[in-house]
Amino acid sequence: MIFETWWLLALPLIFGLGWMAARFDARQLMSEQGALPRSYFKGLNFLLNEQPDQAIDAFIEVVRLDPETTELHFALGALFRRRGETERAIRVHQNLASRQDLPDAEREHALYELGQDFLRAGLLDRAEESLRRLMSGPYAAPAKHVLLELYEVEKEWKKAIDAARELQPLEQKDYSVQIAQFCCELAQDALQRKQPDDAIGWLQQAARENPANVRAPMLLGDVAMAAGDAQGALGHWLGIEKQDATYLPLVADRVVKAYRQLGDDGRALEWLRGLLKTNLAAELLDSAYRAELEQHGAHAAAVLMREQLRRQPSLQALTKYFEAQAAEVAQASVAVTANAADVADGEPAGCAHDVEHEQEVSAIRDLLQHRTRNLARYTCRECGFRARLFYWQCPGCNRWETYAPRRSEALG
């Protein structure tokens, strides 16, 4: 490589230019910092130290000194909304949205924030009005997402379906699970209005939207049962096993009722006994226990629960076993009391012992019932919200199909 002497002259020039550029950037930074009020940095410091009240006071002072600082207006509005001061948040964002000198992008941002303020304040109509002005542009997707949440709160399921369909291409996300659930909600509304044909139409659409949806065949079974078609209802409910067998416990009592209407109680009990040998046993204990008790009495129910304890020990099975024992002892006590009334010489031998045994069994039953009353609960996979009832939409995080159809049994 040939060394050129002019390189020696170029090197000091390059270093000199770099030094001048650094000095220029430093001066510019110093001037920008000098232009910002001290309250701005105080507000940032309060935010970093998780002191939102003091941060708000500092930012209000900055806004008073420099009303043109739109970024601080947005920060202030967000802080107000987070604290629940929706009226102040609305006032801040309305002032921004009404400014004529504001660029279009920032005005759309203000409208989006305003829509969220109205939603938080419960002013749903005004929230929809603000968000509807953002159906195109950079805030179209987030605005439609908030609108979808709003329609779910208002139970405007048709509008929710339209919003979900519009969001799919914008977010590149599959909303088939939600759309199918919206259809099921519309079907339930139709059933309450005594319009079974409309309900069937919505449920068929739900199945098309999401073939894995289990709620649709459950409701189709309800429609058939209401029409007196127990066999058709069984076809829908028992078919759930092919989709997802873990949901069978949700229709177990319905299946028993349908078989009973057909005069085939034994078939229902046989179906339940078979499922007790699977991993669904914990969820079916209540249904199997009730069916056995109603058909064959307390002794048979106790035998069934004893077999289940040997197969899959659990607190729930033990509780049901002692419930059956208590019922059996109570029946025996009634019989003894009836016989004692026929004995002229007073209390027969062994009667006091039977009363004592009944009290012991009842005490154990009550203790176990109290211990297990709050153990078996459904748990949301997303937020961990626990509930005694099964929900298709979590009351905690409002997401759909996040509850597994299995309840947890904690031993601690």
Q: Is 394 annotated as a binding residue?
A: yes
* Element (DSSP H or E) covering residue 48: helix 38-48
Residue 384 has a CB neighbour count (10 Å cut-off) of 10
Phi, psi of 6 (to 5 degrees): -70, -15
Rounded alpha-carbon distances, angstroms, from residue 152 to 135, 156, 157, 279: 19, 6, 7, 35
Q: Is 380 annotated as a binding residue?
A: yes
Q: Which is nearest to 117 in space by CA: 106, 130, 105? A: 130
Rounded distance, CA 163 to CA 146, Å? 10
Q: Is 383 annotated as a binding residue?
A: yes
Rounded distance, CA 129 to CA 115, Å? 8
Number of residues written out for the chain: 412
Q: Is 184 annotated as a binding residue?
A: no
* CA-derived radius of gyration, the chain: 34
Rounded distance, CA 196 to CA 198, Å? 5
DSSP sequence for 153-176: HHT-HHHHHHHHHHHHHHHT---H
Q: Tokens in use for 60?
A: 């209000």
Phi, psi of 342 (to 5 degrees): -90, -5
Residues annotated in the binding site for Fe cation, as ranges?
380, 383, 394, 397
Residues annotated in the binding site, as ranges?
380, 383, 394, 397
